[in-house]
């Protein structure tokens, strides 16, 4: 794509924003591959743009360290949609300056990322700096943004930064916002729950709307970042925080660890996105979702969920259970996700069969227990050891128990009334 075409597409996205807001998505996967490419192609017709994680900077022992995720710039360019580059900066206590060694290194890195994208045929629509600065350091952060202006060549690559809601009340925030072309208000949080079992939401829609209205008073264009992801929080047997897992394999937590799943509430966030589109705060140009769903990303929304939200619909949860008869009196109990959201398997299932018919054998599978004691013609399946992240994607099916009778007979499997009915 030519640079002129890239600028045109970015302008087109801005025009779309005035008609209800853009819908963009972060490409935060650290390794390019077939799954990422397939997801990009699937969602390109459904979104207005992308923002890909291009580099992560940290300062271990005070020395600058750069990690470069694998980004397929050519695949992004082929989509012919605006695509920005995200530069993630780790914790930095200072000092901050516009022209010291640290600032010059960041400017050189930004210029290198832009040049690398252009060499692959992608004209970046923006450079988005993601730095969770301490509130007391916002003036220092502004010095970095002023330095990065040189790398983005004003008028060609927009300079954008992510902002936390806690910054909005600071007097330093408005000058910081004006140092860039726009900002992204991140209304989701990775804060840990204080104790096991405590209620926790990644995004509170009411607070997010209030923050968005507050951000609108700054007078600088901004987008709102909304979550699609989830994570598992671990606690000791006594309920003290142990750690969390958001991506990749689960850590080897000790025996007795209590795990709690925290996920982005798809129906609530679909309603929030629609409210923002219907009545956007001043200067709000759209929503950017974190992150692109890909195959195998078990703690992120499924592609079906994300597509439903992008259409402006509210995804519905719909679990059911089936009792599938097989030859020789075998009955398999299967949990089915017939909805548009990813859900844990049902915690409890009631089974009934004709009185007088004796259950010869049976067992639960995959962390489920079959309890057939105490009553004739009925049993219960209980999820007593199912991991919290053992989730059923839309369309998913999983066997959770089996029963054996002397001959084929009808078995009714039902969910408690508190669960979504079939």
Q: Give exposure, 340-362, as e/b (b: 16+ Cβ within 10 Å).
A: bbbbbbbeebebebeeebebeeb
- Note the pLDDT of residue 212: 97
CA distances from residue 381 to 66, 245, 331, 334, 359 in whole angstroms, order as listed? 50, 29, 13, 11, 14
180 Cβ partners below 8 Å, 6+ apart? 145, 159, 160, 161, 220
Instruction: Give the pLDDT band of residue 327 (cuts 50, 70, 90).
Output: confident
Of 193-197, 212-216, 406-410, least confident by mean pLDDT is 193-197
250 Cβ partners below 8 Å, 6+ apart? 232, 389
230 Cβ partners below 8 Å, 6+ apart? 202, 246, 261, 262, 263, 264, 299, 300, 389
Instruction: Give the pLDDT band of residue 234 (cuts 50, 70, 90).
Output: confident
**Which has more confidence, 197 or 41?**
41
- Note the pLDDT of residue 17: 39
Query: Rounded to an integer, what distance in angstroms lies between the CA atom of residue 198 and that of residue 175?
Result: 38
Q: What is the pLDDT of residues 34-52, one digit of tens each?
A: 999 999 999 999 999 999 9
Q: What are the E-state strand segments in 123-274?
A: 126-131, 158-163, 182-186, 222-227, 230-235, 241-245, 258-263
Query: Rounded to an integer, what distance in angstroms lies between the CA atom of residue 249 and that of residue 123?
Result: 35
Query: Rounded to an integer, what distance in angstroms lies between the CA atom of residue 279 and that of residue 265?
Result: 21
Q: What is the pLDDT of residues 335-385, one digit of tens each?
A: 999 999 999 999 999 999 999 999 999 999 999 999 988 678 999 999 999
Q: Give exposure, 71-102, as e/b (b: 16+ Cβ within 10 Å).
A: bbbebbbbbebbbbbbbbbeebeeebebeeeb
Instruction: Give the pLDDT band of residue 413 (cuts 50, 70, 90).
Output: very high
Two tokens, residue 116 = 């690398």
**Which has more confidence, 412 or 298?**
412
Q: What is the pLDDT of residues 297-324, one digit of tens each?
A: 889 999 999 999 999 999 999 999 999 9
- Note the pLDDT of residue 231: 87
Two tokens, residue 47 = 């979104």
Helices (H) and strands (E) in the chain, counts: 9, 20
105 Cβ partners below 8 Å, 6+ apart? 64
Residue 317 backbone dihedrals phi, psi, to 5 degrees: -85, 135
Q: Percentage of the chain surpassing pLDDT 70?
A: 91
**Which has more confidence, 248 or 283?**
283
- Residue 16 confidence (pLDDT) above 90: no
- Note the pLDDT of residue 52: 98
- Residue 129 confidence (pLDDT) above 90: yes
Instruction: Give the pLDDT band of residue 8 (cuts 50, 70, 90).
Output: very low
β-bridge pairing 222-227 and 182-186: parallel
Q: Where in the chain is the domain with CATH 3.20.20.80?
A: 3-229+264-310
The pTM score is 0.90
Residue 65, burial from CB neighbour count under 10 angstroms (0-12, 13-18, 19+):
exposed
- Residue 9 confidence (pLDDT) above 60: no
Of 44-58, 188-202, 278-292, least confident by mean pLDDT is 188-202
Residue whose pair of structure tokens reads 């979702």 in the numeric block: 289
Q: Map residue 400 onto helix, strand or coil.
A: strand
- Note the pLDDT of residue 14: 40
Residue 351 backbone dihedrals phi, psi, to 5 degrees: -120, 140
Instruction: Give the pLDDT band of residue 128 (cuts 50, 70, 90).
Output: very high
Two tokens, residue 113 = 């990322």
* Across 124-143, average pLDDT: 96
Of 41-50, 139-148, 237-246, least confident by mean pLDDT is 237-246
Given a contact cutoff of 8 angstroms between Cβ atoms, the answer to whether 402 and 331 are in contact is yes
Among residues 246, 251, 240, the alpha carbon closest in space to that of 264 is found at 246
* Across 74-82, average pLDDT: 97
Two tokens, residue 95 = 């000092």
Query: Rounded to an integer, what distance in angstroms lies between the CA atom of residue 281 and that of residue 215?
Result: 8
Q: Map residue 40 onto helix, strand or coil.
A: helix
- Residue 10 confidence (pLDDT) above 70: no
- Note the pLDDT of residue 257: 87
Q: For domain 319-414, give the CATH number.
A: 2.60.40
- Note the pLDDT of residue 233: 86
- Residue 5 confidence (pLDDT) above 60: no
Average pLDDT, the chain: 90
Q: Give exposure, 160-196, as e/b (b: 16+ Cβ within 10 Å).
A: bbbbebebbeeebbeebbebbbbbbbbbbeeebeeeb
Length of the chain counted residue by residue:
422
- Note the pLDDT of residue 190: 58
Instruction: Determine whether domain 3-229+264-310 maps to CATH 3.40.50.300.
Output: no
- Note the pLDDT of residue 248: 67
- Note the pLDDT of residue 374: 67
């Amino acid at each position: 794509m030519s640079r002129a075409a890239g600028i045109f597409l970015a302008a087109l996205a801005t025009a779309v924003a005035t008609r209800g807001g853009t819908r963009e998505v972060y490409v935060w996967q650290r390794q390019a591959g077939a799954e990422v490419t397939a997801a990009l192609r699937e969602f390109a017709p459904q979104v207005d743009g992308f923002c890909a994680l291009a580099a992560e900077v940290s300062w271990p022992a005070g020395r600058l360290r750069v990690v470069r995720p694998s980004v397929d710039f050519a695949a992004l360019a082929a989509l012919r949609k605006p695509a920005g580059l995200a530069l993630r900066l780790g914790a930095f206590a200072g000092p901050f300056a516009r022209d010291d060694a640290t600032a010059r290194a960041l400017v050189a890195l930004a210029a290198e990322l832009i040049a690398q994208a252009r060499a692959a045929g992608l004209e970046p629509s923006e450079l988005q700096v993601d730095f969770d600065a301490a509130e007391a350091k916002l003036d220092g952060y502004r010095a970095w943004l002023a330095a990065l202006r040189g790398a983005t060549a004003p008028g060609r690559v927009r300079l954008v930064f992510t902002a936390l809601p806690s910054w909005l009340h600071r007097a330093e925030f408005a000058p910081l916002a004006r140092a860039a072309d726009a900002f992204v208000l991140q209304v989701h949080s990775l804060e840990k729950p204080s104790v096991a079992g405590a209620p926790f939401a990644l995004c509170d829609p009411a607070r997010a709307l209030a923050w968005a209205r507050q951000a609108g008073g700054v007078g600088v264009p901004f987008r709102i970042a909304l979550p699609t992801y989830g994570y598992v929080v671990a606690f000791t047997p006594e309920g003290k925080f142990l750690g969390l897992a958001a991506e990749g394999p689960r850590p080897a937590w000790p025996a007795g660890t209590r795990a709690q799943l925290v996920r982005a509430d798809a129906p609530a966030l679909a309603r929030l996105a629609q409210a923002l589109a219907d009545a956007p705060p001043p200067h709000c140009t759209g929503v950017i979702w974190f992150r692109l769903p890909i195959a195998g990303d078990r703690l992120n929304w499924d592609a079906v969920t994300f597509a439903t939200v992008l259409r402006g619909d509210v995804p519905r949860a719909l679990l059911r259970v089936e009792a599938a008869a097989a030859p020789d009196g075998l009955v398999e109990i299967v949990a089915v996700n017939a909805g548009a959201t990813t859900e844990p398997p049902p915690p409890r299932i009631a089974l009934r069969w004709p009185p007088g018919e004796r259950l010869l054998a049976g067992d639960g599978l995959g962390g489920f227990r079959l309890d057939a004691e105490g009553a004739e013609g009925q049993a219960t399946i209980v999820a007593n050891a199912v991991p919290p992240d053992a989730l059923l994607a839309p369309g998913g099916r999983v066997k959770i128990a089996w029963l054996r009778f002397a001959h084929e007979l009808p078995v009714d499997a039902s969910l408690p009334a508190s669960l979504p009915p079939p």
